[in-house]
Structure 1
Amino acid sequence: MNYKRFLNALTAFAAQCLFVLLVQDNVAAAAQSIPELHVQPAERAPGALNTTILAAARAGARIVAVGQRGVVLLSDNDGKTYRQAMSVPVSSTLTSVWFIDASTGWSVGDWGAIIKSTDGGETWVAQRSDTQVDQPLFSVYFKNGKEGWAVGLWSLMLHTTDSGANWAVVKLLPPAGAKKADRNLYAMFADTKGNLFVACEQGRVMRSSDGGVSWNYVETGYAGSFWSGIALRDGTILVGGLRGKIYRSANGGDTWAAVPTPYASSITGMQQLPDQSIRMVGLEGVTLSSHDDGMSFTGYQRPDRKTLTAVIDTQKGHSVLFSVDGPTASQ
């Protein structure tokens, strides 16, 4: 089964990265009979500042970071200090966050949870959850205030055209040679032309050139999972994941080439900074930087080997890093 290959791949890194363990636990839970659960709001506590953070986004000048136990952290001074959001309706792990402006954003996570904020992340309301089957969502993307997608375990793709008031399941076709669509979908993003992409397992990238009406699988030449992806401002596409592999496409995803990197630590997040440079973060305290549209990277490894999980740019053009211990000082 495809998800067994997924489990085997993640197990190899389980001792190194809680980021991976969270995903692996979700897979195991989804394969079992789930007891009746009730959605509980996240607790507000001082320890939230040291919670594992899995994703971050900008809401205007504010940084919004999300992670374990429904924790949402906010910073209004470019990451110098953080405080916990006033109210979050779920205590399940949040894996992705997306804001379309300074006020309106969405976050997704375990139990298929989708929550929405209209005040820059201060308060949130629940839009969706499924406590019968823990089919977690790994990524959320909105192209405007109305239309958006959320993707996750076993090819789960949800689509909304009414700001998340209603979510419909998108039925995906299986990839070539497979009997069903059961690939894990990790990171969704779009390029400046409106083409949609999803970084997936088994070295695949899903692509839609018609606004999500239809999707096709693009082979990159890699067999491992891609956990993160980004479309640069010039249209270049980058995806990265297991064993530090990074693949690059300069033609909208038609063809791909592997990019040499100085480390083999898996990539967990990537961001393009205002000066067009690229910063990536990963396991074992590794950060990677590129100043040539991702054609080459230099690297640095933290002495403490702290697992890094997300990266976001500041208003001044620097980058803020996040880890299994919360916000982390950048190099």
Structure 2
Amino acid sequence: MTGRYGCRRRRFGRLPALALSLLLSCSASAAEVPASPKLQPAEITTAATQAMILSAARAGKRIVAVGNHGIVLLSDTDGGEFRQAASVPVRSTLTAVFFIDERTGWAVGHWGIVLRTDDAGESWKVQRADTSVDQPLFSVHFRDKDHGWAVGLWSLLISTDDGGKTWAPVRLPAPPGAKKADRNLQKIFANRMGTLFIAAEQGMILKSYDGENWSYLNTGYKGTFWTGIVLNNGTLLVGGLRGTIYRSTDDGRTWKESKSERKSSITDFAETGGKIVAAGLDGVLLESVDGGASFQGTQRDDRLPHTALCVNGSGKLVKFSKQGIVKDPPNEPSK
């Protein structure tokens, strides 16, 4: 889950105009994101629940999910039914959403967009946009109603201390062996003490106690991490390409690769009912009952790519995909 009311969302590899939507299907086309866009409101459509969803979060009992074309979906029935938010001021891809309480939340996405809602996702307002260059934001996290951070392409890291009214760049040090900070930053998350972590490219995890001064943690992995989570017991998990999951039980000082029987890239994590669940592409879901040390998996017959997870108010997992909300086929055998 993302933050106090979070579910979460995973991120992407290194591609031009980076986004998971491009990685999965190249569906974020030039027609959807023009070269020099004007901010236009998202269209209301009956097909909203079939849009690619890239992130979901809890706003109290409500589930709020975001994705392609600026679509925001809301559910007040624990994920049983969704409706489209009536007022979203952009129709570009939204990549992540985070709520600090049952009403106040932020969404980020392409063109460096930051949106804020104060009514649990019913309506949104633009707090930041940069249409001069499509340097997308991939993840957002707030410590409280004032202090927040968002991360994205080419080591883009911005912070706010006024609830998102203004945003300032945070200068990162160069990674070990590099001349400048240019890694794609995929997912920002925090532990209960407020320590911040960022899952990034080339096996890098960034860590900060104050959001301004950052260090790099060496996991020993060379590929891209897309997502991360801090478990209820403080254990860190990060996941990425080809089913790779790494685990740390000492606040990131040392890392060990988790055992997994599947090689489907990891897009999201959730913790519920004493289990950790990892969502993967190719219709894969992995489960761990030993704190993330090992995972066993199942795969859907249709190979529908899982893109985001959310735990509803009853502790049940709600899954999202390239084709919107995932409805499990009845009695589908595990493989």
TM-score scaled by length of structure 1: 0.90
| Unaligned runs of at least 5 residues, structure 1 | 29-33
Corresponding residue of 1:294? 292
Give 1:76's aligned amino acid: D
Residue pair 1:139, 1:151 contacting (<8 A) in 2 also: yes
Aligned-partner Cα distance in 1 for 2:142–2:108: 12
Which stretches of structure 1, 4 residues or longer, exceed 3 Å deviation after superposition? 21-26
**1:35 Cα offset (Å):** 4.0
**1:99 Cα offset (Å):** 0.3
Aligned-partner Cα distance in 2 for 1:88–1:101: 20
1:280 aligns with 2:278: yes
Work out which structure has the larger RCO, using CA pairs closer than 8 Å and 6 or more positions apart in sequence: 2
Aligned-partner Cα distance in 1 for 2:290–2:36: 51
Aligned-partner Cα distance in 1 for 2:274–2:214: 29
Aligned-partner Cα distance in 1 for 2:170–2:283: 37
| Unaligned runs of at least 5 residues, structure 2 | 1-12, 330-335
CA deviation map 1:220-252 (0-9, x unaligned)? 111110001000111100000100100000000
Aligned-partner Cα distance in 2 for 1:324–1:305: 11
Residue pair 2:55, 2:96 contacting (<8 A) in 1 also: yes
Aligned pair count reads 313
Corresponding residue of 2:324? 326
**1:329 Cα offset (Å):** 2.3
Corresponding residue of 2:224? 225
**1:330 Cα offset (Å):** 4.8
Aligned-partner Cα distance in 2 for 1:220–1:23: 30
Aligned-partner Cα distance in 2 for 1:295–1:19: 31
Aligned-partner Cα distance in 2 for 1:37–1:139: 22
Aligned-partner Cα distance in 2 for 1:193–1:292: 23
Alignment of 1:148-159 (within 5 A): 148-159=148-159
**1:193 Cα offset (Å):** 1.7
Residue pair 1:319, 1:330 contacting (<8 A) in 2 also: no
CA RMSD after TM alignment: 2.1
Aligned-partner Cα distance in 1 for 2:36–2:45: 26
Aligned-partner Cα distance in 2 for 1:146–1:252: 25
What percent identity do the matched residue pairs reach?
A: 51
Aligned-partner Cα distance in 1 for 2:40–2:216: 37
**1:309 Cα offset (Å):** 0.1
Residue pair 1:19, 1:54 contacting (<8 A) in 2 also: no
**1:18 Cα offset (Å):** 3.9
In proportion to residue count, which structure has more helix?
A: 1
Corresponding residue of 1:6? 14
SS in 2 for 1:247: strand
SS in 2 for 1:317: coil
Residue pair 1:74, 1:84 contacting (<8 A) in 2 also: yes
Aligned-partner Cα distance in 1 for 2:247–2:63: 28
Aligned-partner Cα distance in 2 for 1:64–1:25: 21
CA deviation map 1:175-213 (0-9, x unaligned)? 0111111000000000112110000011110011x2212
Give 1:164's aligned amino acid: G
Alignment of 1:62-73 (within 5 A): 62-73=62-73
1:303 aligns with 2:301: yes
**1:272 Cα offset (Å):** 1.3
Aligned-partner Cα distance in 2 for 1:187–1:276: 24
Residue pair 2:22, 2:28 contacting (<8 A) in 1 also: no
